Amino acid sequence: MISVKHLDKHFNRGKKNSIHVLNDVSLDFPNKGLVVLLGPSGSGKTTLLNVIGGLDKVQKGQIDFFDHNISHYKSAIWDKIRTEEVGYIFQNYYLMPNLSVFDNVAFVLKMIGIQDKNEIETRVNYILKQVGMYRFRKKRSTQLSGGQQQRVAIARALVKNPKVIIADEPTGNLDSKNTLEIMNIVKSISANKLVVLVTHEKELASFYGDRIVEIKDGKIINDDQNTTLQDHAFSNDNTIYLKDLVEVSNLESKNLKASFYADSDEVLPTQVRLIIKK
Ligand code: ADP
Ligand code: MG
């Protein structure tokens, strides 16, 4: 389990432009699930996430990372743990432009000391298939769309099988279709791994988060399990009575007969994509 206690951090301490960016932050994280750090721009989300993921340091406080008690002065040990156990996903993807998709992901395995060519190939190809990027494996990252680049970045984060994935506004540069696709991948990762996700978008947090931690001015102002998520799952079950609803439209073609119901005949334009695999 990861836990942080009484984290405290200032930028420009003692100066006029001093910022108390983390103010006595304590949190325990579970071993799996999607924990969202939600707050407005400038509230300290990225700083907190970077501290949890070992990319930034605090001036006071304690960080426990599974069996390790990490203090700011043991940075060499923390570097090793971080390299092996934390997967990072950023808003700007940060792929290496001169490498192929395959090599961007393979690079991580080489970094943690895996040299066997067959093992690298098996693991990279497996993970690229999982994020739907296998057929692009020979392309350079500069030839990909934003959504595709983020999929590769997710593969890169996952390939070393880390204990935790940290994701800083991973859909910040994506359109709504790609946002849904990327978030669906992120959500499925969190079924058996801890994902800590930073966002300023409330809808995103309540649609996907298992737990929402709200941050403002470097302080935690709220920390709740997401109950709207359960409502959402509940509304998907079979307790809808079609007879109570208006049939808005009815489509029929060779392989598909579709009916569209709503609780009023004044519904907003709605787009549905239905994909059948196997
Ligand atoms: P968020 O991710 O919630 O937008 P950040 O953690 O990036 O917030 O930043 C919190 C505050 O700390 C902001 O006011 C930001 O300008 C400031 N800040 C972030 N990084 C630095 C830095 N390296 N030096 C000085 N101030 C910083
Ligand atoms: Mg940020």
pLDDT value for 263: 77
CB-based contacts of 206, cutoff 8 Å, min separation 6: 212, 226, 228, 229
pLDDT value for 273: 80
Does the CB atom of residue 47 touch ligand 1 within 6 A?
yes
Does the CB atom of residue 45 touch ligand 1 within 6 A?
yes
- Kindly give the distance from the C-alpha atom of residue 141 to the centroid of ligand 2, in angstroms, as a whole number: 24
- Kindly give the distance from the C-alpha atom of residue 260 to the centroid of ligand 1, in angstroms, as a whole number: 47
Each of the 278 residues of the chain gets a pLDDT tens digit; together they read: 899 999 999 999 989 999 999 999 999 999 999 999 999 999 999 999 999 998 998 999 999 988 777 765 567 778 888 899 999 999 999 999 999 999 999 999 999 999 999 999 999 999 999 999 999 999 999 999 999 999 999 999 999 999 999 999 999 999 988 998 999 999 999 999 999 999 999 999 999 999 999 999 999 999 999 987 655 554 444 456 666 777 888 889 988 888 888 877 777 777 788 888 77
Q: How far apart are CA 124 and CA 108, in angstroms?
A: 10
What's the pTM? 0.84
Ligand found nearest the CA of 45: 1
Which residue from 7, 11, 15 has its CB within 8 A of the most atoms of ligand 1, so it is best to mutate?
11
Residue nearest atom 21 of ligand 1, based on CA coordinates: 11
Contact of 39 with 18, CB cutoff 8 Å: no
- Kindly give the distance from the C-alpha atom of residue 165 to the centroid of ligand 1, in angstroms, as a whole number: 21
pLDDT value for 271: 79
Q: For tokens 């997710």, what's the residue?
A: 154
pLDDT value for 275: 81
Domain 2-277 in this protein, CATH class: alpha beta
pLDDT value for 262: 81
pLDDT value for 276: 81
Residue nearest atom 11 of ligand 1, based on CA coordinates: 42
Sign of CA dihedral 86, 157, 149, 102: positive
Does the CB atom of residue 9 touch ligand 1 within 6 A?
no
pLDDT value for 238: 46
pLDDT value for 235: 47
Sign of CA dihedral 202, 57, 80, 149: positive
CB-based contacts of 269, cutoff 8 Å, min separation 6: none
Does the CB atom of residue 248 touch ligand 1 within 6 A?
no
pLDDT value for 73: 56
